[in-house]
Amino acid sequence: MERIIFDHMETVRGITEKSIKRIPEEIADITPKGFYNHIRWNFGHIAYVQEKLVFEIMGEEMKTPMKYEQLFAAGTKPADWVDTPPSLTEISFVLTEQKSRIKEFLQGRLEEKLPRPFTNRGGITLYTAGEAFLFSFYHEALHMETIKRIYRSVSSK
């Protein structure tokens, strides 16, 4: 079963990696009416939250660049940014590099209990590394759908 889960990660992240490479930088920072964030924020948020759901809640150090928390954590928005955000190429590198670290870190540990149960902003409590990892696929897919909707909105103008 572990192999199937890691294969699924490859599929989900592969979709994200292909998508970020197709987005032109010039539309990455447009926040259309009806949206809170833009495409760049959503890709950075995927990377930041994945890191949190795999490493931080297991008591490990996060390896995403330090400014990712202030730029891409839940509740942040581009309108509040004071730092220059990373390029899509930089975020793409983080997403790709993260995949191999996750696989190495979680191999044989999916059933391991978290040091403390983790309850997300939606009120869902996760108890094991595997639960958190599986939830991250859902999270990534939600944000990929948002990216698609934003892209359609800005491309149609």
Give the chain's residues under pLDDT 50.
Answer: none
**Position 116 in a domain:** yes
- How many domains are contained in the chain? 1
Determine contact, residues 113/102, Cβ cutoff 8 Å. Answer: no
- List helix spans (H) across 23-128: 39-54, 67-72, 88-106
**Position 157 in a domain:** no
**Position 83 in a domain:** yes
**Position 147 in a domain:** no
**Position 137 in a domain:** no
- Domain with residue 111: its CATH number is 1.20.120.450
**Position 138 in a domain:** no
**Position 67 in a domain:** yes
CA distance 91 to 47: 8
* pLDDT value at residue 157: 62
The pTM for the full model equals 0.95
In this predicted model, what pLDDT tens digit does every residue of 58-72 receive, in sequence order? 999 999 999 999 999
Determine contact, residues 44/71, Cβ cutoff 8 Å. Answer: yes
Domain range spanning residue 18? 2-124
* pLDDT value at residue 141: 97
